[in-house]
């Protein structure tokens, strides 16, 4: 049974097998959670990212975690919000689904997600969180024994409360 958790805090401090980065298509770092992860992991992370040749929106690629407590970083590229009529929902769902797929392919048992696309990419928070939760629920139903823990990390109490409220709709016995 996969344990679903919602937590408030800095994803760079979370001790799990993999943390997910809200990256851009270059995979060469940025600000927000991307900047925090690269800052905590150290320069070897960027050096490995340089070998990956970028990543298209909706997909994800994996590296080691280096100076982070997490063993791996899964760099997921979410969509920029452009009003909702440019396939943003599908692309965000794919970013979560491809991250989960990569985790299972690499034997990862515990994974922590930030709220992908809800910062600089301006995706409405509640819609993004609902997509994150529903995509994870579908994945777990199709891969019941694959993951031990999935954690949704929020960086503000407002976002955390939103996750807690929405989580009950998808995982009534968790969060
Ligand atoms: N830990 C957890 N969550 C964080 C952290 C952190 N240390 N820092 C920021 N966040 C949260 C933000 O509050 C937001 O809810 O991560 C979410 C995603 O925000 P961004 O980091 O801005 O990511 P995103 O909206 O996906 O935009 C990605 O921003 O930094 C650049 O290179 C990145 O171009 C890419 C774009």
Give the position, in ligand 1's atom list, of the atom nearest the Cα of 36.
Answer: 7
Q: Is the CB of 79 under 6 A from ligand 1?
A: no
pLDDT of residue 175: 75
Candidate from 9, 12, 15, 22 with most ligand 1 atoms within 8 A of CB, to mutate = 22
pLDDT of residue 173: 87
Q: Is the CB of 32 under 6 A from ligand 1?
A: yes
The predicted model scores a pTM of 0.98
**Phi and psi, residue 145, nearest 5°:** -105, 10
Q: Is the CB of 73 under 6 A from ligand 1?
A: no
Q: pLDDT tens digits for 114-151?
A: 999 999 999 999 999 999 999 999 999 999 989 999 99
Alpha carbon distance 73, 107 (integer Å): 13
Q: pLDDT tens digits for 2-61?
A: 999 999 999 999 999 999 999 999 999 999 999 999 999 999 999 999 999 999 999 999
pLDDT above 90 for 100 = yes
Alpha carbon distance 11, 68 (integer Å): 10
Q: Is the dihedral of CA 159, 100, 22, 9 positive or negative?
A: positive
pLDDT of residue 174: 86
Q: Is the CB of 24 under 6 A from ligand 1?
A: yes
Give the position, in ligand 1's atom list, of the atom nearest the Cα of 11.
Answer: 1
132: number of Cβ within 10 Å:
28
Q: Is the CB of 30 under 6 A from ligand 1?
A: yes
pLDDT of residue 134: 98
Q: Is the CB of 31 under 6 A from ligand 1?
A: yes
**Cα 40 to ligand 1 centroid, rounded to whole Å:** 14
Element (H, E) at 160: helix 157-170
Burial 74-95 (b: 16+ CB within 10 A, else e): bbbbbbebeeeeeebbebbbbb
pLDDT of residue 7: 98
Q: Is the CB of 119 under 6 A from ligand 1?
A: yes
Alpha carbon distance 82, 99 (integer Å): 23
Q: Is the dihedral of CA 105, 95, 157, 36 positive or negative?
A: positive
pLDDT of residue 124: 98
Q: Is the CB of 150 under 6 A from ligand 1?
A: no
Q: pLDDT tens digits for 50-77?
A: 999 999 999 999 999 999 999 999 999 9
């Amino acid at each position: 049974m996969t344990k679903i958790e919602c937590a408030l805090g800095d994803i760079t401090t979370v001790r799990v097998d993999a943390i997910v980065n809200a990256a851009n298509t270059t995979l060469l770092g940025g600000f927000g959670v991307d900047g925090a992860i690269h800052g905590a992991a150290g320069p070897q992370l960027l050096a490995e990212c340089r070998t990956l040749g970028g990543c298209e929106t909706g997909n994800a690629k994996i590296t080691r975690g280096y100076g982070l407590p997490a063993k791996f970083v899964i760099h997921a590229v979410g969509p920029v919000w452009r009003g909702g009529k440019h396939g943003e929902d599908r692309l965000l769902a794919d970013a979560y689904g491809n991250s989960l797929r990569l985790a299972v392919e690499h034997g990862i048992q515990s994974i922590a997600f930030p709220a992908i696309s809800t910062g600089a990419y301006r995706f409405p928070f509640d819609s993004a969180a609902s997509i994150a939760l529903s995509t994870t629920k579908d994945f777990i139903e199709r891969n019941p024994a694959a993951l031990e823990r999935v954690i949704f990390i929020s960086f503000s109490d407002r976002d955390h409360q939103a996750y807690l409220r929405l989580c009950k709709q998808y995982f009534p016995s968790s969060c």
